[in-house]
Structure formats: structure tokens, C-alpha cells
Structure 1
Amino acid sequence: MRLNRSDPTRVENFPATFSEAYMKEIVNFGHRHNVKMLPTVHNLLYERGNQHVNKDVVRGMLATPETRRAFIQSMVQLIQQYEFDGVNMDFEDVYYEDREKLNDFYRELGREMRSRGWFFSVDTPSRTSDQPTNPFSAPFNYAVIGEAADQVVLMLYNEHGWPGSGPGPVVSSGWMGSVVNYALTKMPASKILAAVSVFGFDFNLTTGRNTYVTYSMAMDRAKQYGVKVVFDEKTQTPMFSYTDAEGNQHEVWFENADSIRAKMQQAHRLGIRGLALWRLGMEDPAIWQVLQNEFVISKLVD
């Protein structure tokens, strides 16, 4: 779900194909299987490639105490209507100038959720210091969010893969350590989930263009060009190189069961709550056997 563009104090309805009865059955199914059910609310994808629209919409919601309160009440109504267990907020494009209002919003929503006994989760872009060097993550104050929320999901993607980046893993073990260790200075380890990708990128080194690949796409591409997948020990991620029919040089970095295992083990060493995976359907199917056999899984669906 996302903020309504014309009235950002409210969230848009579910897709027309999702009736109220259907949504309630999904929530009930989760509850019957002891799964915490949260709606994820975001401010993305209004216009392809136009991040200013995303920022303008959330700015409208954050504008005043009254607009924030109206939005919080709409969230209360949504949770009550579908009997959710709380909410997951996934704001990702925010003007730096709105950072203090964003802090106020998280505090206000956190108090409301806590007063009702509901679970409050926040997704945050990755940052590694107090310095506002990255405009994407700079508006997000880890200390404020860590105090307000029950759970903080650190979105570790994309270390590499953003437009213009060089080749490399979406989330290396070193990057994961840097982001998590910074977060640990701002909030308890018990609140932290490290969100890692299950997708990857094909980096065209000749043209400089990066494209998404799922696990199956990566494996098909390696087979197509007859190249071997290698596991990079430094970053703890699989990769391979190939030359396409036009002579362009490529590197493909992605995730598989071995790299997810390594990240789960790293999360355990860091003492945090665990991992979150983005997004289902792109993953190596073998990760589920690894998770079932080697780790204890907490069920949270949003």
C-alpha cells in the first residue's frame, strides 16, 4: 500500500482485484499459522524514474501536526478494519529538509502503536555514519527510529547496482557489517533486521548499464555463455563474467543459498534479530532448505 497522491493523509486502497473479504482471509490465514501480519505502507512508484514525486507526496503528509495526525488515524482505521497486528512503514524518498518532521512522525506513530499494543516496524535506507553523505539515507535518523519502532529493517541493497555504479555485489559481507555496526550504536541489537537482496545485477562493463537478474536468470545466463559461477570469498557472494554476442564484457553478481547462509551466520555473529529477504520469487530455491535445516525462523509477513 502507498500514500494517496491526491490526499497523502490517507493510503490508497488495495488493488481492485483484492476485495475486503479476500484481504481479511489472508490476514486470518496468517494468524491461524501464528504469523504476524503487517501492511507495508510506502511512497514509491507514482511516476517511473521521478523521485521528486515520491518526496512531494510524503512531504504533504509530514507537513503539519494535523496532517500527520490525520494519516496516523487512517492507519489506525486500516489496522482495525483488517485486524492487522500493526504496520510496517517503508518511506524511501524524503527531502533532507523534511528530516525533523520525519522524526516527529516516527515518534508520533510509535506512541500511537504502543498505546494500542500494536507492532511498529520501520524500513530504512542504509547508512554507515552520522554524516549526511548519501542523500537517499541522510533524512533517516537511526537513533530516533530505533527508539520509536519495535523493529528496524536495514535495507542493505544496493551497495552496487545503482545507476552508474561499478560492478560488485548487491550486499557484500563487508557492507553488511558496516551498516549493522553503525546501527548498533543507535539502537538495541534485538530490534535490528538486516534486509538483504535475493536478486542480483548484470553489469555491462562496456556500456556501463546495469540490469536486474533473478537467481534463475543468472544461472541461465551462465549456462548460455558456458561460464563457471565462482564464489567470491572476500564478499561472500557468487559471480561470473562473460562476453556477449556484441563483444560487450559483463560481470554478474547475485545471491544463492551459500551467500544467504553466510549472511545468516554473520547476523548471528553480530547478535541482531536476523535477516529479511527482498524479494520473494527472485531467490535460489535452495535457500529454503538451508533456512529450514540450519536456522530458527521467526514468522513475519508484511
Structure 2
Amino acid sequence: MQIHVVQRGESLYAIGRTYGVSVEEVATANEISDPSRLVVGQALVIPVEGSFHIVQPRESLFSIARRYGTTIAALANANSLAATAILQIGQRLQIPQKTKPAIDTMLYVEPRTPVTEVMIEEVRDKTSGTYLTYLAMFSYQVLRNGSLQAPTIDNIPQIASSNGVANAMVVSNLENFRFEPTLANAILTDLAAQNQLFGNIIQVANDIGYKDIHFDFELLFPADRQLYNNFLSRARTRLHMAGLTVSTAVAPMPANVLTGIYGGHDYAAHGALMDFVALMTYEWGFTYSEPQAVSPIIPVRRVVEYATSVMPSNKVMLGQNLYGYDWSAPFPTQGGAPAKALSPQQAIALALRENVAIQYDYVAQAPFFTYYDAAGVYHEVWFEDARSIQAKFDLIKQFNLRGIMYWKLGLAFPQNWLLLKDNFTIRKR
């Protein structure tokens, strides 16, 4: 696969000719409904075997090899060139391919009542390909007596399992549509409720066919950190005896935070107790924040660096958003309206409609654009594209992580799935 960023004046025909593929192939890969209309700055994935580089002014085999982490000899050999060859501007070079690492992937699904046929079709699409290890059902809400409030799941688990995807049962402390620390505290301090909960989880898992129990307890009281560790230890014992794996989702911390809304999560303990841990490495930019990247690469890297310093890297899954936000002035921090979530495809369509170019922040490794709406209100949009997701894939490879966790199904981002398969072999459990 090749990532190509649309330049001013380029057409899909010219781009396809550069890489030797048809307009239809590029349009289909990127889900472009009108091939005659592109956005300047839009990142396209070109469906070609391998990866290529178009030579720019003043580039050499040495500089290109260093950029892609290969050698001059390997690059020259892949293109039948002498190691001392002088390159021509616009020349296309094939980049030597490395062995694909094997990873786990997890995709959260959050069904509504009733479950729509659109969601069912997307479940079929994502589970029938080689994209997923786990489909995570969000969520079974814990009640204060240890009972569970189940989501409406229709036949989603059966579709996943029939396609070789393991079902994960997400167990949360959601109450009245928010993560509730007092609910978690009530469970964490009541052994009888815990025993009831574990029994209920095992029963549901056996009835539905869940293979992993994924605890997503958020916004815990910092004082409940050890209580949560104790709870997870008991859960592991009971659930392992039932033949189930156990995992957790944890807040994105760059250090051992002991206070605030992240203080209840103990990375070292989770790494020791759980079969794997998913880092929620997103929401720096969020509904009520200033406009910014949702998962900027530098703070994401810091979380990964800390996580892998206190838990085995082969237990760590990077969390990744499949969405962005459209902020309008005045921003939420200035008393304005909350930002509106949108998928990467919706962001591109918005930029096309407003006739604005997409820019790229190379520090955050994230695309963005600005526009004024019909009422003259200023907007700033940050989202994900092929370049930003490739930066996360490179991080997974660099730290030898277990894999990636996505929030969530239903947000169109075709470039992600093409690049996922191009970068990795997806394990089945």
C-alpha cells in the first residue's frame, strides 16, 4: 500500500497513472463517491503491492533509505540501481518490505436498541475479513448488587464467532449514561456482590460465547486503587477457572498517577494480573476541550513508554480513535457548544463541501482544517487519516506491542483497514 497526499491540481486519473492503478481502484479503496472531486491535502491509500517513494528535489538513495529504515544496498537492489546512482525528480522507487509482525486487534461495538441492519452489515464486513481478533461488546453494566444490565446484542456475537472472531464481554461501571465511581466503590467493597458478579459474568459468557472478559471501570476514586487491584485478582482467579481470559481498559497515563480521575488505575498491577491491557490513548482533544488532535503522537508515545516500562509489551494494546471532532467558536472552554464528533470520511466530505484544504500537523501527526460556516462562525476540525494511523502502526512496531484497540464500529475510515492489513498479520484467538 502507498499513501498519497493530494496536491493542488491533481486528478484521480493522474494519481492512478503515477502508481499504475485505475481510477476505479483508487476510488473504491478510499470510498470516493465522486472521483472528479478531491480535497487538497486529502490522504489517499493507493492499492498497490508494496510501498513506493516519489523522488523529491535534493533526495538521494542515502536520505530515502534512512527515511524508511532500510539500507542503501537494499533500496538500490529493490530498484535494480547501482548504489551510486543519481536519482531523477519524480522517479518512483519501491521500498523494500519487512516481515509483517503478528498482532491482536480489538474493535468495540456499541449497539443501540433496536440494533440496526446497518450495524449488522458492518459487523459482517469487519468480522468476515482478516481485520479482527476480538469484537468487544460495550457494555454489560454492573449493578450494585452484582447483577448485570445487558446491552441489546441481537445476533452480533454469533456473526463474529462464525467468522473466527473472538467475542469479548465489556463489563463497565456505567450508571445513568456515565462512569460512576460510587458504583465501582460499592462493588469493590462488597465481596458478596463481587462473587455474585463473577458468577453472573460466567453464566452470560457461557450462554453467549464470550471468550474474554474486558473490565472497563473508569473515573475510579484514587483511594480505590488497591481495592480495584484486589477485585481484578479475584476476577482473574474465578474467570480463568472458567476458561476465560481477562483484560482491562486503562486511562492514558505517562507516569504513575496517584490522584485525579486516572488515579484508580495501577499499570504495574494490571500488567501483572491481566492477560492483556488496552491503553485508552485518545481524547486529548475531546467534546469539551480546545480544538486539538484527539490522539497526538507525542503524548501517546509517552503513555506507551510508561506502560511498557512497568508491564510486558506483549500484553499492551494501543487504543485508537476512529473519529475526530468539529469545534465551533466560541469553543467549549469559552462557554461555547460541545464539539461534534465525526468520522474521517465525514471530515473529508465536510472539507470538500466547504472547499477548504486539509492541513497536517507533523508534531501531533494529525490532519486538520478550518472553515467558516454559512452564519460566519469559525470552525476547526481535527480527525484521523492514513498518515496519522500509520504513525500509530509504526509505534506498535517500535515497542513490539500486543496490538491495537479501536473505538468504535460504525465510524467510516477505510484507509485504516487497508493499512492495518498491509502492516500486520492479524492473530486469531
Normalising by structure 1, we get a TM-score of 0.87
**AA at the equivalent of 1:101:** L
1:38 aligns to what? 168
Which of 234, 239, 249 is 2:378 aligned to? 249
- Pick from 78, 97, 109 the counterpart of residue 235 of structure 2: 109
Deviation at 1:195, TM superposition (A): 0.8
1:107-159 Cα offsets, whole Å, 9 max, x none, are 111122233332111111111111335x2211111111111110100011211
Could you say which residue in structure 2 is the equivalent of 1:145? Answer: 270
3-state SS of the aligned residue for 1:240?
A: strand
Structure 1 residue ranges, 4+ long, deviating more than 4 angstroms after superposition: none
Letter paired with 1:284:
F
Aligned residue type for 2:147: R
Which entry has the higher C-alpha Rg, 1 or 2? 2
Q: Which residue of the partner structure matches residue 129 of structure 1?
A: 255
**Residue-pair matches, total:** 286
CA distance in 1 between partners of 2:237 and 2:345 (Å): 43
Instruction: Report the Cα offset of residue 246 of structure 1.
Output: 3.0
Amino acid at match of 1:3: Q
Distance in 1 of aligned mates of 2:160 and 2:257: 40
Deviation at 1:55, TM superposition (A): 2.0
Quick check: 1:11 aligned with 2:148?
yes
Instruction: Report the residue type matching 1:172 in the other structure.
Output: P
Q: How far 1:181 sits from its partner (Å)? A: 0.7
Cα contact 2:323–2:384 (8 A) shared by 1: yes
Secondary structure of 1:87's counterpart equals strand
Which one of 184, 207, 212 corresponds to residue 86 of structure 1? 212
Q: Which residue of 1 aligns with 2:318?
A: 194
1:279 to 408, 411, 415: 408
In 2, the alpha carbon distance for the partners of 1:299 and 1:199 equals: 26
**Counterparts of 2:261 and 2:425 in 1: how far apart (Å)?**
33
When residues 131 and 95 of structure 1 are mapped into structure 2, their CA distance, relative to the original with a 3 A threshold, is closer
How far apart, CA to CA, are the structure 1 residues paired with 2:185 and 2:160?
33
The alpha carbon displacement at 1:283 in A equals 3.2
Partner of 2:282: 157
**In structure 1, C-alpha distance between the alignment counterparts of 2:366 and 2:425, rounded to whole Å:** 22
Match of 2:291 among 154, 167, 187: 167
TM-score between the two structures when normalised by the length of structure 2:
0.62
Residue 207 of structure 1: how far off its partner (Å): 3.6
- State whether residues 207 and 248 of structure 1, in contact with CA within 8 Å, keep that contact through their aligned partners in structure 2: no
Aligned to 2:99: none
Gaps of at least 5 residues in structure 1 are none
Give the corresponding residue for 2:421: 292
In structure 1, the partner of 2:76 is none
> What's the secondary structure of 1:2's corresponding residue?
strand
2:353 alignment counterpart: 224
Give the deviation of 1:162 after TM superposition. Answer: 4.7
Q: Give the SS at the match of 1:175.
A: helix
CA distance in 2, matches of 1:271, 1:172: 20
Query: What aligned pairs does 1:248-267 form with structure 2 within 5 A after superposition?
Result: 248-267=377-396
SS in 1 for 2:349: helix
